[in-house]
Amino acid sequence: MIMDKDTAFFGHPIGLRTLFLTEMWERMSYYGMRALLVLYMTGSLTGFNPGMGLSAMDANAIYGIYVGMVYFMVVPGGWIADNILGHQKAVLLGAIIIALGHFTLAIPIEQTFFLGLILVVLGTGLLKGNISTIVGSLYRDNDQRRDSGYTIFYMSINIGSTLGFLICSYLGEKIGWHYGFGAAGVGMAFGVYQYINYRHLLGDAGLNPNDMLDSRRASLISWTKRSLVLMFIVIGLGLFGLISIDPRVFAENFAYFLTIVAGAYFIYLYGFAGLNSSEKKNLLLLFVLFIGAAAFWSGFDQSASSLSIFARDYTDLSIAGFIIPIGWLQFANPIFVVTFAPIFAGIWAHLGRMNMDPSLPLKFAIGLIFMALSFIVMVYAVKLAMVSAPVGMQWLLITYLLQTWGELALSPIGLSAFSKYSPKKYMGQMFGLWFLASAIGGVLAGLLGGDATVDGLNSVQPIFTFMIQYYVVIAIALIVMAYLFKKKESS
Binding mask 442-481 for ligand GLN (x = CB under 6 A): ----------------------------------------
* Residue 422 or 438 with smaller CB distance to ligand GLN: 438
**Minimal distance, residue 467 CB to ligand GLN, in Å:** 17
Nearer to ligand GLN, 374 or 411 (CB): 411
- The residues, any chain, with a CB within 8 Å of residue 457's CB and separated by 6 or more, are 314, 382, 385, 386, 389
Q: How far is the CB of 114 from ligand GLN (least distance, A)?
A: 22
Indicate the SS3 state at residue 207: coil
The DSSP code sequence of 27-88 is HHHHHHHHHHHHHHHHS-SSSSS------HHHHHHHHHHHHHHHHHTHHHHHHHIIIII-HH
Residue 147 to residue 285: CA distance in whole angstroms: 20
Residues in 371-430 at the binding interface with ligand GLN, rule: CB under 6 A = 411
CA distance 432 to 76: 8
Residue of the chain from 298, 330, 374, 438 that contacts ligand GLN (CB under 6 A): 438
| Closest residue to ligand GLN using C-beta atoms | 438
Nearer to ligand GLN, 311 or 436 (CB): 436
Alpha-carbon gap, residue 220 to 19, rounded angstroms: 28
391 neighbors 384 (Cβ within 8 angstroms): yes
Q: Which is nearer to ligand GLN, 427 or 454 (CB)?
A: 427
CA torsion, points 259, 260, 266, 270, in degrees to nearest 10? Answer: 150
For residue 204, the tally of other CB atoms under 10 A from its CB is 9
Residue from 12, 27, 87, 178 in contact with ligand GLN (CB under 6 A):
27
In the complex with ligand GLN, the residue whose CB is nearer, 315 or 438, is 438
Provide, rounded to whole angstroms, the least separation between the CB of residue 403 and ligand GLN: 11
Q: Which amino acid is at 339?
A: T
Binding mask 141-180 for ligand GLN (x = CB under 6 A): ----------------x-----------------------
In angstroms, what is the minimal distance from the CB of 254 to ligand GLN? 16
Measured distance CA(431)–CA(354) in Å, rounded:
31
**Cis link prior to 390 (omega < 30° from 0)?**
yes
Give me the least distance between CB of 420 and ligand GLN, in Å please. Answer: 18
Q: What stretch of H or E contains 465? A: helix 456-490
Q: Which is nearer to ligand GLN, 150 or 257 (CB)?
A: 150
Q: Are 72 and 258 in contact, with CB atoms under 8 Å apart?
A: yes
Distance CA 411, CA 39 (A): 27
CA distance 339 to 83: 39
Q: Does 297 bind ligand GLN (CB under 6 A)?
A: yes
22 binds ligand GLN (CB under 6 A): no
- Do 124 and 30 contact (CB within 8 A), yes or no? yes
Q: Find the shortest distance in angstroms from Cβ 132 to ligand GLN.
A: 8
Under the binding rule (CB under 6 A), the answer on residue 296 touching ligand GLN is: no
Q: Nearest approach, Cβ of 441 to ligand GLN (angstroms)?
A: 6
- Report, in Å, the least distance between residue 190 CB and ligand GLN: 18
d(CA 203, CA 200): 6
Judged by beta carbon, residue 42 or residue 132, the one nearer ligand GLN is 132
Q: What is the b/e burial string over 116-130, where b = at least 16 CB atoms within 10 angstroms of the residue's CB?
A: bbbbbbbbbbbbbbb
Q: How far is the CB of 221 from ligand GLN (least distance, A)?
A: 30
Q: How far is the CB of 334 from ligand GLN (least distance, A)?
A: 8
Q: CB nearer to ligand GLN: give 49 or 132.
A: 132
Pick 368 or 385: Cβ nearer ligand GLN: 368
Task: Report the residue number, 62 or 382, with the smaller CB distance to ligand GLN.
Answer: 62
Nearest distance in Å: CB 158, ligand GLN: 7
Query: Segment 251-280, which members bind ligand GLN (CB under 6 A)?
Result: none
Total binding residues toward ligand GLN, as defined by CB under 6 A: 5
The C-alpha angle with vertex 57 and arms to 55 and 61, in degrees rounded to 5, equals 120
Beta bridge partners of 323: 318
Q: Kindly tell me which of 56 and 408 has the beta carbon lying closer to ligand GLN.
A: 408
Phi and psi of 205, rounded to 5°?
Answer: -65, 120
Which residues contribute to the site for ligand GLN (CB under 6 A)? Answer: 27, 157, 297, 411, 438
